């Protein structure tokens, strides 16, 4: 039996003006520990990095995982079907091909994927897709937090289980 703690994380990314001339991307995450306490996190994608929804989605997962200091069992829920598919189906192939996709094109955001691989070595991770805007409260919270990050606001808020 494992003595690792189990956490649940919902993540989301957002990008105002995605694909346009002046996009602003942000990320958000809702972490629940085994006692039910919540940590809400949000922030902007740094200005010097690509301002895309995809980068924000991935950054949300990386930042949330970095908030858990000790090895743990972690269930990550994302409304990015792409990220769930990469993690569950394609990631190891990308690594074997030198960070190239099946079509031989380079992988975008390699720095974040490499960090996710490193964190996968620390934690026991599962990544699952959930439908966006489908009434899952922690997913909706992560969405609101990601939009907050688009406005260059940072959030790090602890909410005890008894306060919810």
CATH homologous superfamily of 5-163: Ribonuclease H-like superfamily/Ribonuclease H (3.30.420.10)
Q: Answer yes or no: are the C-beta atoms of 3 and 136 closer than 8 Å.
A: no
78: DSSP letter: E
Q: Say what the pTM is.
A: 0.94
22: DSSP letter: S
SS3 111: helix
Please report the pLDDT score of residue 91 as a whole number: 95
Positions of the chain with pLDDT lower than 70, given as ranges: 1-2, 164
Q: Answer yes or no: are the C-beta atoms of 136 and 33 closer than 8 Å.
A: no
Greatest Cα-to-Cα distance within the chain, rounded to the nearest angstrom: 52
Which residues belong to the active site? 12-13, 57, 79, 133, 143
The domain limits of the chain are 5-163
- Measured in whole angstroms, how far is the alpha carbon of residue 41 from the centre of its chain? 10
Rounded to whole angstroms, the Cα distance separating 84 from 114 reads 16
At 36-55, the pLDDT tens digits run: 999 999 999 999 999 999 99
Residue with tokens 């990220």: 83
Please report the pLDDT score of residue 164 as a whole number: 64
């Amino acid at each position: 039996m494992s003595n690792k703690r189990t956490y649940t994380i919902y993540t989301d990314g957002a990008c105002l003006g995605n694909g346009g001339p002046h996009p602003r991307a942000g990320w958000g995450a809702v972490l629940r520990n085994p006692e039910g306490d919540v940590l809400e996190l949000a922030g902007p994608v740094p200005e010097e990095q690509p301002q895309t929804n995809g980068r924000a989605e991935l950054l949300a997962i990386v930042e949330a995982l970095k908030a858990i200091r000790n090895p743990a069992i972690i269930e990550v829920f994302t409304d990015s079907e792409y990220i769930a598919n990469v993690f569950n189906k394609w990631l190891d192939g990308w690594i074997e091909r030198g960070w190239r996709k099946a079509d031989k094109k380079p992988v975008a955001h390699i720095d974040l994927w490499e960090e996710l691989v490193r964190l996968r070595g620390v934690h026991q991770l599962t990544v699952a897709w959930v439908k966006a805007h489908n009434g899952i409260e922690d997913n909706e919270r992560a969405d609101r937090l990601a939009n907050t990050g688009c406005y260059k606001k940072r959030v790090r808020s602890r909410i005890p289980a008894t306060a919810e």
